């Protein structure tokens, strides 16, 4: 909302008090505030006009529809994000399982090498006899 210079000039001229002669600042200020209030009421009265309200309602419904679309898109994005997180957690679980299997294989390999070394030492011992 904007108030134009000529509106303020009309407001100023409507409450012309000669403050130099009677020093009645209270009445001058009161009159000025009342005129300013009437000016604001005049500008805000456009919102009471039903035709203007319909236009605002149309715009408001458009905004509401856009907001609803945005909410739906955010919900879809959240679901997609949750699915990615679930997939990622599944990958982490699979990695942990593979680590466990790898450590078990490593243990078996080490045990096999130890048995092989024992067998090798035993065979060498028997060969030397």
Which tens digits make up the pLDDT trace of 22-44?
667 777 788 778 888 888 777 77
Top mean-pLDDT range of 10-14, 15-19, 111-115, 123-127: 111-115
pTM: 0.35
Q: If phi over 0 gives left and psi between -120 and 50 gives alpha, with beta otherwise, what is residue 29?
A: alpha
| Full domain range(s) for residue 123 | 50-129
Question: 62 with 90, same domain?
Answer: yes
Question: 39 with 56, same domain?
Answer: no
Which tens digits make up the pLDDT trace of 54-102?
655 667 778 788 888 888 998 898 888 888 888 888 899 999 999 999 9
pLDDT of 45: 67
Question: 106 with 61, same domain?
Answer: yes
Question: 25 with 74, same domain?
Answer: no
């Amino acid at each position: 909302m904007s108030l134009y210079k000529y509106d303020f000039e009309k407001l100023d001229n409507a409450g012309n008090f000669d403050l130099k002669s009677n020093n009645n600042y209270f009445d001058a200020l009161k009159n000025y505030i009342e005129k300013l209030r009437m000016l604001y009421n005049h500008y805000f009265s456009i919102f009471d006009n039903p035709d203007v309200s319909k236009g605002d309602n149309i715009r408001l419904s458009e905004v509401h529809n856009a907001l609803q679309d945005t909410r739906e898109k955010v919900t879809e994005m959240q679901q997609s994000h949750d699915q990615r997180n679930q997939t990622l957690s599944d990958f982490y679980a699979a990695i942990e399982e593979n680590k466990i299997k790898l450590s078990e294989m490593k243990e078996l390999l080490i045990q096999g090498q130890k048995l092989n070394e024992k067998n090798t030492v035993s065979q060498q011992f028997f060969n030397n006899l």
